[in-house]
Structure 1
Amino acid sequence: MILDDMAVTALMQPRRSSDTSLEEALMNRRSARSYVDGALTLEELSQLLWAAQGLTSPQGLRTAPSAGGLYPLEVYVVVGRVEGLSRGVYRYLPSTHSILRIQDGDRRVELARASLDQSWVKEAAVDIIIAAAYERTTVKYGERGVRYVHLEVGHAAQNLCLQATALRLGAVTVGAFDDDEVSMVVGLPQDEKPLYVIPVGRLEA
């Protein structure tokens, strides 16, 4: 575990508009499994994380709806190639729009193994993991809350993929992986379960 304050990296304030309309992003979104070696910028990573779970109001509302406003999702990023950012595993902190480094070093190869050897996981510039702490929702809604969590993670993942499209980046949602191995590679707490691994990388021009 990283204990010093230097482990926290503040992210750029997210953009509220772009040259790509929502309709264009919907039309152009594809599952991209082939990437070039280029790095993402920190601004691009900032925008992707905000799209998935960022704040949209002073009251703490987020980009994706959540049953009861309980927000069970946590977002992590395995960084391989991001300009100005060390390789490692980071946890997104929506309340401060920052990332906390929880592990040093490139973990993409290990994550790819945990993802049943899907090569695009290790070839992407970053892999974004969306995990869920189910009890935050089930404590209020019981067994039905499990369904609400699954609906919510779909909202967040689609937001992320549409944002990647608007940034001219490639992304693919991966659901085939060993839960325990992904949890170990990323360093998830025991009460969190991985639901998505989303590789993101630059596309060939």
Structure 2
Amino acid sequence: MIRRGFLKFLFITPLGRLISGVLSAGIFSGVIFLDVIRTDVRKRTGADVEKVLLPYPRLRGVVSVEEALANRRSVREFREEPLTLEELGQILWAAYGISETRYGLRTAPSAGAQYPLEVYVVVGEHGVKTGDGYLKPGVYHYDPHSHTLTLKKTGDFREALYQAALEQIWVLKAPVSLIFTAVYSRTVRVYGERGRVRYVPMDLGHAGQNVYLQATALGLGTVAVGAFYDDQVAEILDLPDGETPLYIMPIGRPIYQYRLTEAELIRYIEKSRR
């Protein structure tokens, strides 16, 4: 068990900050900050909340990492087709789900294992297929530990999100959008301003790339959107004080699926070597 006095030493004293900075490079960071991870999880549930139990994540797929890397593209044109609940659950797990069960570490790395990000889902009307029906349109929050969605608001908020995102049409047309937010204080309290300007953006990039690659592996597409009015997105999500929206990632079935062959890649490399 990690002593709180040791954590105080790490977070507050100059020497402790230096040590924690080294640890954030990946050496024992998940173990050192376990106490913080467990005590910082906010209670978002209650007796009257509506939860969606997502299908269990799959750890084996049919597309290799190399293929997903080669075929990943920013997709802005989507078919008018829903995602399945299995696909949505798989993408959420890839984005920020649990990948280690002793300490609750995630699929995306995080400086000091502080995990400042939260993931929300805006589901449109008939946006997600669930057996014989569809997932209720609305705003959901993802809980990685129980792999569930909690319904926060009911209704199709794609139009509002489209307006908040400077009328980028792919936000309106996608059946689903993932929205990443950050609780900066989780990282700043350990690393100070460096956590805000460097580590949280790095965390976001890691998680965003996970979404890109998992979407590609599932035959889906997405694009990272950073141009939007923060206050309007925060209002759509009903964000508490201290939580900031950072990414909108609309997800759907691409009209055109990019495919790179090994022969094409080899020809390009050989031509560039001449």
- Shorter-normalised TM-score: what interval? over 0.9
Shift of 1:3: 5.1
**2:108 maps to what in 1?**
64
Q: Point out the structure with the larger helix share.
A: 2
**1:128 maps to what in 2?**
178
> For 2:146 and 2:46, how far apart are their aligned partners in 1?
18
**1:82 maps to what in 2?**
128
- Superposed CA deviations along residues 129-153 of structure 1, whole A, max 9, x for unmatched, are 0000000000010001111001000
Are 1:179 and 2:230 matched, yes or no? yes
- Superposed CA deviations along residues 140-196 of structure 1, whole A, max 9, x for unmatched, are 100011110010000000001100000000100000101111111121111110110
Structure 1 stretch displaced more, 192-201 or 182-191: 182-191
Q: Check whether the contact 1:2–1:101 (CA below 8 A) recurs between aligned residues.
A: no
Identity %: 52
Structure 1, unaligned runs of 5 or more: none
- Superposed CA deviations along residues 11-64 of structure 1, whole A, max 9, x for unmatched, are 111110111000000000011100011100000000010011000111201001
> For 2:92 and 2:178, how far apart are their aligned partners in 1?
8
> For 1:11 and 1:5, how far apart are their aligned partners in 2?
19
Structure 1 stretch displaced more, 182-191 or 50-59: 182-191
- Superposed CA deviations along residues 98-156 of structure 1, whole A, max 9, x for unmatched, are 01000000000100100001010010010100000000000010001111001000000
**2:51 maps to what in 1?**
8
**2:255 maps to what in 1?**
204
Are 1:143 and 2:193 matched, yes or no? yes
Q: 2:65 aligns with which of 22, 44, 47?
A: 22
**1:195 maps to what in 2?**
246
Q: Check whether the contact 1:169–1:201 (CA below 8 A) recurs between aligned residues.
A: yes
Shift of 1:204: 2.9
**1:166 maps to what in 2?**
217
Q: Check whether the contact 1:2–1:103 (CA below 8 A) recurs between aligned residues.
A: no
Shift of 1:6: 5.6
> For 1:36 and 1:69, how far apart are their aligned partners in 2?
37
Within 5 Å, which residues of 2 pair with 1:44-55? 44-55=87-98
**1:73 maps to what in 2?**
117
> For 1:104 and 1:2, how far apart are their aligned partners in 2?
16
> For 2:238 and 2:208, how far apart are their aligned partners in 1?
20
Q: Secondary structure at the match of 1:162?
A: helix
> For 2:47 and 2:128, how far apart are their aligned partners in 1?
21
Are 1:91 and 2:91 matched, yes or no? no
Task: Give the root-mean-square deviation of aligned CA atoms.
Answer: 1.4
Bigger radius of gyration among the two? 2
Structure 1 runs of 4+ with >3 Å offset: 1-6
Decide whether aligned partners of structure 1 residues 112 and 21 sit closer, same or farther in structure 2, where only a CA change above 3 A counts: same
Q: Secondary structure at the match of 1:138?
A: helix
With the length of structure 2 as denominator, give the TM-score of the two structures.
Answer: 0.73
State the AA in 2 paired with 1:62.
Answer: R
> How many residue pairs align between the two structures?
205
Q: Secondary structure at the match of 1:56?
A: strand
Q: Secondary structure at the match of 2:62?
A: coil
